Each structure stands twice: as C-alpha cells, then as structure tokens.
Amino acid sequence: MTLLITWPGSGPENVVRRTSDFAEIAAALAPIGVRYEQWPVREDVPAGASADVVLEAYREQIDKLNGEEDFSTVDVVSLHPTDSPEWAETAKEARQKFLREHTHEDDDEIRFFVAGAGIFYLHAAQEVHAVYCEKGDLLGVPRGTTHWFDMGTSPSFTAIRFFHEEDGWIGKFTGSEIASRFPDFDTIHAEYTGQRA
C-alpha cells in the first residue's frame, strides 16, 4: 500500500501529513501538479519479467495514457538483486544517480510500478512529500519540480517509464544536499512494512 509523508522543507522534525489513503494522497499531491493513480495489478507478471512481457501485460493502460499524452517513448526499467558479483556496484551506482535532488526541464517524470517499491521525494511549496510507491502505483512528477528518488541499498523494482522527449531521462541537478537530511528508503520501508529493505 502506498504511503505519503509530508514534512516542512526545513527538515523532518515535524510530520505535516502521513496517510496511506488513496484519495487523501491524490488530493494532497494535486495542488503541486503531481499525478497519482492506481492501476489494476497483473498478478501473472513476475518481478523479473522481460520488458516485452511487462509492456504487453499493461498494453491497455499504456495505450490509454499514451492517447492522452502522446509519448515518444515507453520503456521498462528493472533492477532486482542477483547473485552476480557486479550486482552491489550496479545497485549503488543506480541509486546514487537518482538520490541527488534534481529537476527535468523538458519532460515530466512518469512511472508506473509493476513490481517492488521506491520513494519519490517531491520538494515543492516549501514542503517535502515522500511518496512510497508500490506495485500498481503511477506517479507523474511535473517538469520543473525539484525531487529525488530512492530505491534503497538493495533495489528491487520494475517500472514502466513514459517520456515525451526521445532523449529519455535528463536530470538537472540542483547541488542541494537536502536528500541527506530526510529519512531514506531503507528507514521508511523498514518502519512501514516491518521489514528491512
């Protein structure tokens, strides 16, 4: 189940809002232009499914959203633990890339979670909104919104990505260290689920 935690932008000492109610989350994110939806989950799509299988399974929803927004590219990103010796380094590099606050000047960042979980931290309207996304959640971060994404120290997720621009993910980093001041994925995941990431 999705979770939204909102703090003042100054730090996480006081929680402004904490909810796992879909309607409350959607209503809280709407004023900052963030799209939040829940799509029906396909239980027949395993966590390690190929991109072709994932895209075909969610073809109806993808086509509907594409009809509304006319994306140039729709693809799948997947990162799950393996026995490969390179896994730890790959996971660390991937996490560090997205863990710094950034914006996208030319495109929205739209992700649908097919499996696993990750947290988008949205820094908007003098607040930080941590949106813990799981299987079935679609989140659309408007271009120009400062944010970061944390997948944890042992990432495990599959997501469909939607791009208006053919160049895909292009981040403009703010240089802020704000991400280091707020609870990370592992902390929130452990508290919320009772499990270590």
What pLDDT, in 10s, does the model give residues 96-133?
Answer: 889 999 998 888 899 999 999 999 999 999 999 999 99
Residue 196 has pLDDT above 80, yes or no: no
Banded model confidence at residue 195, pLDDT cuts 50, 70, 90: low
Q: How far apart are CA 187 and CA 195, in angstroms?
A: 10
State CA 170 to chain mean position distance.
15
Distances (CA, A) of 28 to 79, 80, 178: 29, 31, 21
List pLDDT tens digits, range 22-64: 999 999 999 999 999 999 999 999 878 999 999 999 999 999 9
How far is the C-alpha of 187 from the C-alpha of 166, rounded, in Å?
A: 35
Residues of the binding site for Fe(2+): 102, 104, 109, 147
Nearest to 119 by CA among 80, 151, 91: 151
Q: Which amino acid is at 100?
A: R
Domains assigned to the chain: 3-193 (2.60.120.10)
Worst-scoring range by mean pLDDT, 2-11, 145-154, 164-173? Answer: 164-173
DSSP conformational letter for 63 = H
| Cα gap 132→190, rounded to integer Å | 12
Residue 46: strand, helix, or coil: coil
Please report, as a single letter, which amino acid is at residue 116: G
Specify the residue for token string 């790959």.
Answer: 90
Contact 69, 142 (CB under 8 A): no
**Distance (Å, rounded) from C-alpha 36 to C-alpha 133?**
10
The mean-pLDDT minimum among 15-29, 91-105, 134-148, 163-177 falls in: 163-177
Residues 93 and 106: beta-carbon distance below 8 Å:
no
What is the distance of C-alpha 89 from the center of its chain?
Answer: 21
Q: Which helix (H) or strand (E) holds 158?
A: strand 157-163
Residue 97's pLDDT is what? 86
Q: Which amino acid is at 107?
A: D
- Residue 166 pLDDT grade (very low, low, confident, very high; cuts 50, 70, 90): confident
Q: In the prediction, which pLDDT does 168 show?
A: 64
Binding-site residue set for Ni(2+): 102, 104, 109, 147
pTM of the model: 0.93
Tokens describing residue 168: 């895909």
Annotated binding-site ranges: 102, 104, 109, 147
